[in-house]
Structure 1
Amino acid sequence: MRTSQYRWVILGVATFTQTAAAFFVQGIGAMSVHLRRDLELNTTQLGLLLSAAQLLPLAGLPVAGRLLDRHAERWVVGIGALVVAVALAAGSAAPGYVSLLVVLLIVGAGYSTVQPGGSKSVASWFDASQRGLAMGIRQAGLPLGGVLAALTLPALATAFGWRSTLVVGALVALSGAVAFMTFYRRPPDQRPMVTASRVRLELLREPYMKKIILSGTSMVSVHGGLGVLTVLYLHEVTSVTPVSAVLVYVAVQCAGALGRVCLAAWSDRHGSGRYACVLTCLAAVIIGMAALTTPIGRSPVAACLVFVWLGFFGIGWYGPWVAYAAESAPPDHTGFALGLAMAVNQVAVVLAPPALGLLTDLTGGFAAAWALLAVLTAVTLAMTARL
């Protein structure tokens, strides 16, 4: 039965696997100062590192969605996490920047199964009364991976060099793969179903899918901007030391993890539905981004508080968003719908970090990047509120 207590084991292992698979990539932003120095990178090249791991999921996420609707999540997710581990282990021998980009491309291919697979597994085990909370806890694994990475990877890079961080990332990803393949089981009342191509195409025309895609692409751009620019902004604009900037980045990720749980739990009880919570996050991000373009953003204390605010809403939005996406899709097409929505998101995930980095390099400051994100978010809020 779905009400079985084993659903909490499923939630725990899905969250752990998400955290483990995302660990290294989420730590790249925290290592920005080290990577720029050791590999002699500019901000655009640093943004490309973040994008490299997100490129292959453009094609991989819809494929993963189909596999998840036809085969057991246990093996689809577990093998994907295993690919992440193997790629990072091989990448520890990478001679420089270009080879590191290639390694991260392969990491992205493996990660394609983890995000929709973990979401589908949790959605399958929890009913609507607790699904938002469960999805929020599970999605907190992404920023939680960022927290753990920020606390460990910069110190490892300082002590042993940046290659050592790939070895640790591989071991962490391997533990996630083993855990999921060991403990995951399908709900007793669920069986794999074959999806129809006609239904897959019709999903793109649904109003809920338009809302999911527009809000998703906007907010993952915000998340990408926070990942690539937070530490650099605090260090270069507010004169915070690199160590202190990384600690603030940890706080941002913690706020994001908390936001994913709290906002998703709120969506379980919100009278206007889950998407109303996403609209709230869009509005909060506009306020935060606008604040960074004013003198408030140049104050170390105020800037740190604004980034924590942005972490809570600009990363926390994903909890209610993914619960809304899972519930809106036809029951036997949940995997494909999640994979499709996440694949469209990947366009922004790939383009946002290097684009924002390039904009920062060209303008010689961060204000243009923050303003662009604020405008994009405002347009999304206006459009999706009417759908």
Structure 2
Amino acid sequence: MSQRWAILAVIMLAQTVANIGPLGIPAIASLIRDDLELTLTQAGSFLSVYYLGPVAMSFFAGMLADRWGTAKTLVLGQALIAGGLLAASAAGSYGVLLALLGLAGVGYGTLNPASTTAAMSWFPPRQRATVVGLKQVGLPFGGMLGAALMPALALRLGWRWAIAAGALMIVVCAVLSASVYRDPPAEAPLRRAAGERGAVAAVLRSRDLWLVASATLVFAAMQTVWMAFLALYLQGVVGLALLAASRYLALAQAGGVLGRVAFGVLSDRTFGGRRRAPLVIAGCGSALCSLAIAFTGPAAGAWLLTPLALVFGFFGIGWNGVQHTLMAEIAGPRSAGTAVGLGLAISSLGVTLGPPVFGACVTAAGGYRGPWIGLSLVMLVGLGLLALVRERPRF
């Protein structure tokens, strides 16, 4: 019993530290923009390019975790993220910076499916959404730490040293993961089954897996638009300074920490293992927040922005662990990593497309209000796809 919780702690630490550097970059985007003389759309594109890695790698990384084992895949993912970020800290141009962030993203596309299957393989079905939600806390918690720490580091030492510091923390965590984490004994037979002909084909033929993945593409696009543009919007429209704007980004990530735990518990306990209802609740809440921010402006004070950032984080970031759990349970234990990888690959496409499309809409409209409203309406597509998913109670 104590071993599984120690394993979960290592997984959570790996997931958290891996996100500090990449998700802290939007908080210092204005400094990078000034140094490299970038446009608004370019400054909002860093996360999009970073998430090209998961688009390209997540499905294959899920297969790798199913066949090769999660322990090795966890360490490989962290090593790739650290190497990409360390090289990106020395980039001298926008193109080189994007290429290296893409390499770091390949590492995250390797880490994320492996960490999900690692968490699920150590716990029984009644705790899965809660445990995966706890694991996925690493993304918003790491983002919160990144938004809080990286602007201070960047203002003192420069944005390059801030990114390098994030990379070095991942190196330390990768060494710890290699030393502590072990795959559960029961995983070996499942890895052999995952290598059998037809296991991957069954995942690709699953109607419900494709529906969930496509629906959460919309969720992921909305989440990343907020993460990429919240600080830029607060500085450019509301008139806040860099550190003040980055605090609201950190608040949104803090709301995401709470949401990922709450939605996991809600799914496991309140809804008896059903996963679709919490996702619908999250989609509705995040759409309402996007509609609300459309009507903020220079007069918006902390009394409005603080709850708005927290509530969006809760709904707009909190859904992720439930999605991972639903994908893995639809596929079954022998193909869980492959299924989660497919979901991450498709949803990461939304992460990649969302910010540049939103940035282009802001430029074309000459302001943020219309694009924020449009973002809220796009969620209707995701909710419609979820309505078509066939789900059975898990226990």
- Between 1:274-283 and 1:80-89, the stretch displaced more is 80-89
Q: 1:320 to 1:364 in 2, by over 3 A?
A: same
Alignment partner of 1:330 out of 327, 332, 338: 332
The number of residue pairs the alignment matches comes to 384
Q: How far apart are residue 87 of structure 1 and its match?
A: 2.3
Q: How far apart are residue 155 of structure 1 and its match?
A: 1.3
Q: 1:252 to 1:178 in 2, by over 3 A?
A: same
Distance 1:181 1:372 in 2: 45
Q: Report matched runs for 1:252-271 at 5 Å.
A: 252-271=252-271
Alignment partner of 1:30 out of 21, 27, 44: 27
* 8 A Cα contact 1:153 1:165, kept in partner: yes
* 8 A Cα contact 1:237 1:298, kept in partner: no
Q: 1:105 to 1:296 in 2, by over 3 A?
A: closer
Letter in 1 for 2:361: L
What does residue 127 of structure 2 align with?
Answer: 130
Q: How far apart are residue 207 of structure 1 and its match?
A: 4.1
Distance 1:123 1:46 in 2: 36
Q: How far apart are residue 88 of structure 1 and its match?
A: 2.1
Q: How far apart are residue 90 of structure 1 and its match?
A: 2.6
Distance 1:205 1:314 in 2: 29
Distance 2:47 2:26 in 1: 8
Letter in 1 for 2:276: Y
Matching of residue 187 in structure 1 with residue 188 in structure 2: no
Alignment partner of 2:375 out of 355, 364, 373: 373
* 8 A Cα contact 2:45 2:228, kept in partner: no
Q: How far apart are residue 343 of structure 1 and its match?
A: 0.7
Q: Report matched runs for 1:73-222 at 5 Å.
A: 73-191=70-188, 192-193=191-192, 194-196=194-196, 198-222=198-222
What does residue 343 of structure 2 align with?
Answer: 341
Letter in 2 for 1:235: Q
What does residue 234 of structure 1 align with?
Answer: 234
The alignment partner of 2:292 has SS state of: helix
Q: How far apart are residue 243 of structure 1 and its match?
A: 1.6
* 8 A Cα contact 1:195 1:332, kept in partner: no
Distance 2:197 2:215 in 1: 25
* 8 A Cα contact 2:85 2:104, kept in partner: yes
Letter in 2 for 1:8: W
What does residue 287 of structure 1 align with?
Answer: 288
What does residue 393 of structure 2 align with?
Answer: none
Structure 2 alignment gaps of length 5 or more: 390-395
What does residue 357 of structure 2 align with?
Answer: 355
* 8 A Cα contact 2:80 2:107, kept in partner: yes
Distance 1:270 1:38 in 2: 50
Q: 1:355 to 1:197 in 2, by over 3 A?
A: farther
Q: Report matched runs for 1:306-321 at 5 Å.
A: 306-321=308-323
The alignment partner of 2:315 has SS state of: helix
Alignment partner of 2:48 out of 47, 51, 59: 51
* 8 A Cα contact 1:296 1:303, kept in partner: no
- Deviation per CA, 1:118-166, whole angstroms, max 9, x where unpaired? 0000010011121121111100001111111111111111111111012
Distance 1:210 1:52 in 2: 23
* 8 A Cα contact 2:324 2:343, kept in partner: no
Q: 1:72 to 1:286 in 2, by over 3 A?
A: same
Distance 1:197 1:345 in 2: 26
Q: 1:196 to 1:357 in 2, by over 3 A?
A: farther
Distance 1:234 1:276 in 2: 32
Q: Report matched runs for 1:59-70 at 5 Å.
A: 59-70=56-67
Distance 2:27 2:118 in 1: 30
Distance 2:381 2:70 in 1: 36
Distance 2:92 2:197 in 1: 44
Q: How far apart are residue 210 of structure 1 and its match?
A: 3.2
Q: How far apart are residue 304 of structure 1 and its match?
A: 3.4
Q: How far apart are residue 91 of structure 1 and its match?
A: 2.7
Matching of residue 246 in structure 1 with residue 246 in structure 2: yes
What does residue 392 of structure 2 align with?
Answer: none
The alignment partner of 2:238 has SS state of: coil
Q: Normalising to structure 1: TM-score of the pair?
A: 0.94
The alignment partner of 2:25 has SS state of: coil
Q: How far apart are residue 296 of structure 1 and its match?
A: 8.1
Distance 2:110 2:155 in 1: 32
Q: Normalising to structure 2: TM-score of the pair?
A: 0.92
Q: How far apart are residue 220 of structure 1 and its match?
A: 0.5
Q: How far apart are residue 350 of structure 1 and its match?
A: 1.1
Cα RMSD (Å): 1.8
